[in-house]
Amino acid sequence: MMIDPLPDDFFARATVEVARDLLGKFLIRRRAAQLIIGRIVESEAYLGSDDPAAHAVAGRTKRTQALFEEPGKAYIFRLHGHYCLNVVTETVGNPSGVLIRALEPIRGIEFMRQQRGESITDDHLLTNGPGKLCQALDISMAHYGVDLTDATSPLYLAQGEPYAFETVATPRIGITKAQDRLWRFVIKNNPFVTRTRSF
DNA sequence: CGATGGATGAACT
DNA sequence: GTTCATCCATCGT
């Protein structure tokens, strides 16, 4: 049950709602016989229109191609030498998505340590950032456009197990435009969220 | 074809 | 609090 994938219609909704509802869900990386699992504890919504901070403002390019495809697909981009993972939302042609910013390691933590480097001794640092979690789960451009609603994919999203928490909305991190919009969502008091930056 | 600039992370003071 | 290594798609020439 906890590894049943989320259905298509979970993602074919308003992006801000999907971002908030993804908190507590499981991100699952299938590698051979092993499942690497993290609980989503931080997310951000990026809208296809009226959002100056979103990649969608660049229009349909080779980089943003996946954003224009079906909701539930993976949109991955490279930034400063790191990968970042998004889930496509809304409808085909509406280039919206949710950035997965932090995970709480659930299963496969030894694999995550190997991926992140043996110098990482504090488990809180394994997956508390969009680039870190991609490194920890071995997510790369090989997963660009994969179906995150399919349990046979190397990467997908699942309901997870029951988990009670409070949600907090804050401004998004690392952007210079539209900083007034409270489209970052975190699980209150969860130690695996990213540190907030100052500007 | 060179320049630019990030939805970052790590290592500093 | 700060700096800086990082990569490549995109854009200007």
pLDDT tens by residue, A71-115: 999 999 999 999 999 999 999 999 999 999 999 999 999 999 999
d(CA A115, CA A5): 25
Task: Look at residue A195 in the predicted model and tell me its pLDDT.
Answer: 80
Pairing of strands A26-31, A155-158: antiparallel
Note the CA–C1' distance, A24 to C7, in angstroms. 32
A79 CA, C7 C1': Å apart: 7
Protein-to-nucleotide distance from the CA of A10 to the C1' of B11, whole angstroms: 40
In this complex, the answer to whether residue A64 has its CB under 7 A from any atom of chain C, a nucleic strand, is: yes
- What is the Cβ-side half-sphere exposure of residue A145, based on CA atoms within 13 angstroms? 8
pLDDT of A33 reads 86
pLDDT at residue A121 greater than cutoff 90: no
pLDDT for residue A12 is more than 50: yes
Residue A10's SS3 state is helix
Confidence of residue A118 (pLDDT cuts 50, 70, 90): confident
Please give the average per-residue pLDDT across A146-168, as a whole number.
97
The mean of the pLDDT values for chain A is 95
Scan residues 133-192 of chain A and list those with Cβ within 7 Å of strand B: 133, 172-176
Q: What is the pLDDT of residue A178?
A: 93
- Which residues 6+ apart lie within 8 Å of A106 measured at CB? A26, A37, A38, A39
d(CA A29, CA A45): 22
Mean predicted confidence (pLDDT) in A149-175: 96
| Strand C contact nucleotides, protein CB < 7 Å | 1-2, 5-11
DSSP assignment of A83-107 equals: EEEEEEESSTT--EEEEEEEEEEEE
Average pLDDT over residues A130-145: 98
As a whole number of angstroms, the distance between CA A46 and CA A63 comes to 15
Using only C-alpha atoms, chain A has a radius of gyration, in whole angstroms, of 15
pLDDT of residue A199: 44
**A186 CA, C8 C1': separation in Å?**
30
Structure confidence at residue A1 (pLDDT): 62
Amino acid at position A18, single letter: V
Q: Long-range CB contacts (< 8 A, 24+ apart) of A15-19?
A: A15/A45, A15/A46, A15/A47, A15/A48, A15/A89, A15/A90, A15/A96, A15/A97, A15/A98, A16/A45, A16/A47, A16/A183, A18/A45, A18/A87, A18/A89, A18/A98, A19/A43, A19/A44, A19/A45, A19/A98, A19/A183, A19/A185
Verify if strand C has an atom below 7 Å from the CB of A63: yes
- The predicted model gives A144-168 an average pLDDT of 97
What is residue A105's predicted lDDT score, i.e. its pLDDT? 97
pLDDT value for A198: 47
